[in-house]
Chain A
Amino acid sequence: MKANFTLFFLVVFLLAAWAGWGWPNIAKIMPVYVAAIPGLILVLVQLYRDATGWEARRGGAGGGIDMDEVYETKLDRKTEFRRTVTYFSWFIGGALGIWLLGIVIALPLLVFLYALIEGREKWSTSLIMAACTYLLIWGLFEYMLESRWPQGLLFS
Chain B
Amino acid sequence: MIRSTLALTGLALGALVLQGTLAALLPPALTPDLALLVALVAAVVAPALPALLLAAGLGFGADLLSGTLLGEQALLRLLAFAATRFVSSQFHLERGIPLASYCLAIGLLDPLGLAALSRLFSGASPVGWESLPTVAVRALLGAALAGGVHRIVGGALSLQDGDARRREVRFDTRRPVL
Do A and B interact with each other, yes or no?
A: no
